[in-house]
Amino acid sequence: MGYLSICVNLDDRRCVVVGGGEVAERKVAALLEGGARVCVISPTLTAELHRLASINAVEHLAREWKSGDLGDCLLAFAATDDPELHGAIAREARALRIPVNVADEPELCDFIMPSVLRRGDLQIAISTSGASPALASRIRRDLQVMVGPEYETVTQIMRAARTYLRKWQHDSRERARILRALAVSDIAEHVRRADWDTIDRLLHQHLGAGLDTLRINLRRPAGELSRGS
């Protein structure tokens, strides 16, 4: 079975999760992190899903799924312990041309959920194409050591650098060269050490502009809240 790894814009898009257990809770958490509007359909909920519903972070339909519930959604998720219900949800989703993910039944899935390492805007997705979610989780844990929390700040800096260059450097090849050079520099190590003076010099070297010019509102790792603190 072949898969294409893509990143989907979920911002304010409706997604439906059928189920109220721990598996559904994990799906909901990932969708909320991606900015989706989430509808959960289940007569019962975990404590965390109940909390989210109580503060209107998710819409909750406190009943069993019924035909028509998938209308106007971008993605559908079936996360119950009922194989017959899963089949019905998958069939309706396909009839409506809505991509569906069915927990523990890859043969019914239009897409699968990778194991994801997040560092702010940086996301590293690991998938075994459904062969072994446990292995994907193991690899994610290994990568957490290599890609530390400093990469959230590095990604912020790279975004700001790209924005700055798009305004002041009109040669696309030169922009690409500068950004590649900055990306392969020691910037991550300097961020990890909170060595902001060296980072500023590095940016001036590559961009001709420093942190102040780029106006980066950094979320510093390890308790670093502001420059010079």
Whether 228 has a pLDDT exceeding 60, the answer reads: no
With respect to residue 132, please indicate whether it lies within any of the assigned structural domains: yes
With respect to residue 123, please indicate whether it lies within any of the assigned structural domains: yes
Q: Are 170 and 130 members of one domain?
A: no
How many structural domains are present in the chain?
A: 3
Alpha carbon distance 22, 25 (integer Å): 5
Alpha carbon distance 172, 178 (integer Å): 10
Does pTM top 0.85 for this prediction?
Answer: no
Q: Quick one: pLDDT at residue 223?
A: 37
Alpha carbon distance 114, 125 (integer Å): 6
With respect to residue 87, please indicate whether it lies within any of the assigned structural domains: yes
Residue 179's domain comprises 150-214
Q: Are 141 and 201 members of one domain?
A: no
Confidence bin at 106 (pLDDT 50/70/90): confident
